[in-house]
Structure 1
Amino acid sequence: MSDGVFRVLTGPVTGGDPATDAARELIAGLVLRPWGQVASSVYETGRLVADAPWLPGHHQRIGFLLRGQRPDGAWGPPEGYALVPTLSATDGLLAALAAGRAGTDLLAPVARGLRALTGTLLATDARELPDTPALDLIVPALVDSINERLAGLDRATADRLPRPPLGLPAGLGADRLRAVRAAVAAGAALPAKLAHFYEVLDATPADAGPTLTAVGASPAATAAWLTTAGPEAGPAAHAFLRELIRDRGGPVPCPIPITVFERAWVLSGLRRAGIPVNPPNALLESLAGATGAEGVATGDGLPTDADTTSVALDALARLGRPADPASLWAYETADGFCTWPGSEDGFSVTTNAHVLDAFGQHVVRHPDADGRYHRTVDRLSAVLPEHQLADGRWQDRWHASPYYATACCALALAESGRGAAAAEAVDRAALWVLDSQRADGSWGRWAGTVEETAYALQVLLAAPTAGPRVDDAVDRGHAYLHRPTGGEHPPLWYGKELYCPTAIVRSAVLAACRLAATRTPGVDRSVADCGYQATKTTT
Structure 2
Amino acid sequence: MNSVNPARDSAVTCSHHTEYAAAAGMPNLHEHLRTCAAALLHALGQGSVVPNTYSTAWQARLRIPGSADLLFPAAQQWLLDHQLPTGAWGSTIPLPHDRIVSTLAAVVALASNRQQATAPAPAQRAIEHGCDHLHSLADAWHNSDDETIAFEMTVPLLLRQAQELSLPLPYAAFQDLAMVREQKLRLIPRNTLMQEPTTLLVALETLTDQAVNFTQLSPYCQDNGAMGNSPSSTGAYWVATGSEKSRSYMEDVASLHPDGGFPEIYPASIFEWAWPLHYLGRADLLPSQPTPAFAYLRSMLRDDGTAAYDPHVDLPDSDDTAMTLALLVQYGLLPRTCLKALLSFESSEAFTTYHYERNPSVSANARVLWALRLWPQRFGQQIKKAEKFLLHHRQESAYWRDKWHVSPYYATDVVVQSLGGTSRFPLTGTANWIVETQHDDGSWGLAGGNPEESSYAVLTMEELSRHGRSFPAHTWERAAAYLAMHINDTEFAGLWIGKGLYTPVNVVKSAVLAGYTLALNKIHGDSLCRNSPTPAKPKPEMR
Q: Under TM normalisation by the shorter chain, which class is it?
A: 0.7 to 0.9
Counterparts of 2:251 and 2:70, CA distance in 1: 7
- C-alpha change, 1:290 and 1:430, in structure 2 (3 Å) is farther
The answer to whether the 8 Å contact 1:199/1:220 transfers is yes
**Match in the other structure for 1:111:** 128
- C-alpha change, 1:181 and 1:292, in structure 2 (3 Å) is closer
**Match in the other structure for 2:148:** 132
Counterparts of 1:265 and 1:258, CA distance in 2: 11
Counterparts of 1:486 and 1:352, CA distance in 2: 31
TM-score (norm 1): 0.82
Counterparts of 2:453 and 2:64, CA distance in 1: 37
**Match in the other structure for 1:62:** 76
**Match in the other structure for 2:492:** 489
**Match in the other structure for 2:476:** 474
**Match in the other structure for 1:22:** 36
Counterparts of 1:398 and 1:210, CA distance in 2: 24
Deviation at 1:509, TM superposition (A): 1.1
Give 3-state SS (helix, strand or coil) of 2:413's partner.
Answer: helix
- C-alpha change, 1:195 and 1:52, in structure 2 (3 Å) is farther
Q: Residue 284 of structure 1 aligns to which amino acid in structure 2?
A: A
Q: Residue 41 of structure 1 aligns to which amino acid in structure 2?
A: N
The answer to whether the 8 Å contact 2:349/2:385 transfers is no
Counterparts of 1:510 and 1:319, CA distance in 2: 21
Counterparts of 2:395 and 2:340, CA distance in 1: 30
Q: CA RMSD in A?
A: 3.4
Q: Is 216-225 or 45-54 further displaced after alignment? A: 45-54
TM-score (norm 2): 0.81
**Match in the other structure for 1:321:** 333
Q: Residue 22 of structure 1 aligns to which amino acid in structure 2?
A: C
- C-alpha change, 1:164 and 1:314, in structure 2 (3 Å) is closer
- C-alpha change, 1:189 and 1:115, in structure 2 (3 Å) is farther
The answer to whether the 8 Å contact 1:338/1:344 transfers is yes
**Match in the other structure for 2:410:** 404
Give 3-state SS (helix, strand or coil) of 1:420's partner.
Answer: coil
- C-alpha change, 1:502 and 1:104, in structure 2 (3 Å) is same
- C-alpha change, 1:176 and 1:97, in structure 2 (3 Å) is farther
Q: Does 1:38 align with 2:65?
A: no
- C-alpha change, 1:288 and 1:523, in structure 2 (3 Å) is closer
The answer to whether the 8 Å contact 2:273/2:293 transfers is no
Q: Is 325-334 or 96-105 further displaced after alignment? A: 96-105
**Match in the other structure for 2:393:** 387
The answer to whether the 8 Å contact 1:306/1:340 transfers is yes
**Match in the other structure for 1:452:** 453
* Pick aligned residue for 2:504 from 487, 501, 504: 501
Deviation at 1:454, TM superposition (A): 0.4
* Pick aligned residue for 2:297 from 286, 293, 301: 286
Counterparts of 2:325 and 2:524, CA distance in 1: 32
* Pick aligned residue for 1:85 from 97, 102, 121: 102
**Match in the other structure for 2:539:** none
Q: Residue 241 of structure 1 aligns to which amino acid in structure 2?
A: M
Q: Residue 508 of structure 1 aligns to which amino acid in structure 2?
A: A
Q: Residue 54 of structure 2 aligns to which amino acid in structure 1?
A: Y
Q: Residue 366 of structure 2 aligns to which amino acid in structure 1?
A: A
Counterparts of 2:317 and 2:341, CA distance in 1: 10
**Match in the other structure for 2:281:** 271
CA deviation string 1:388-446 (max 9, x = no partner): 11151111111101010111111222x3x54422xx12x32121000000011100123
Q: Does 1:234 align with 2:215?
A: no
Counterparts of 1:347 and 1:130, CA distance in 2: 15
Deviation at 1:295, TM superposition (A): 1.0
Q: Does 1:192 align with 2:206?
A: no
Q: Residue 83 of structure 2 aligns to which amino acid in structure 1?
A: Q
**Match in the other structure for 1:432:** 433
Length, aligned pairs only: 489
Give 3-state SS (helix, strand or coil) of 1:170's partner.
Answer: helix
The answer to whether the 8 Å contact 1:349/1:405 transfers is yes
CA deviation string 1:257-283 (max 9, x = no partner): 111111111112221232233455365
Q: Does 1:520 align with 2:523?
A: yes
**Match in the other structure for 2:358:** 345
- C-alpha change, 1:466 and 1:94, in structure 2 (3 Å) is same
**Match in the other structure for 1:245:** 254
Q: Is 447-456 or 173-182 further displaced after alignment? A: 173-182
The answer to whether the 8 Å contact 1:378/1:418 transfers is no
* Pick aligned residue for 2:309 from 298, 323, 329: 298
* Pick aligned residue for 1:361 from 351, 367, 374: 374
Counterparts of 2:80 and 2:402, CA distance in 1: 32
**Match in the other structure for 1:47:** 58
- C-alpha change, 1:167 and 1:143, in structure 2 (3 Å) is farther
Q: Residue 510 of structure 1 aligns to which amino acid in structure 2?
A: L
The answer to whether the 8 Å contact 1:437/1:443 transfers is yes
Q: Does 1:308 align with 2:320?
A: yes
Counterparts of 1:132 and 1:481, CA distance in 2: 28
The answer to whether the 8 Å contact 1:391/1:428 transfers is yes
Q: Residue 269 of structure 1 aligns to which amino acid in structure 2?
A: Y
- C-alpha change, 1:178 and 1:325, in structure 2 (3 Å) is closer
The structure with higher relative contact order (CA 8 Å, sep 6+) is: 2
Q: Does 1:175 align with 2:182?
A: yes
Deviation at 1:192, TM superposition (A): 1.6
Q: Does 1:147 align with 2:163?
A: yes
Q: Residue 286 of structure 1 aligns to which amino acid in structure 2?
A: L
Q: Is 95-104 or 433-442 further displaced after alignment? A: 95-104
Deviation at 1:326, TM superposition (A): 0.3
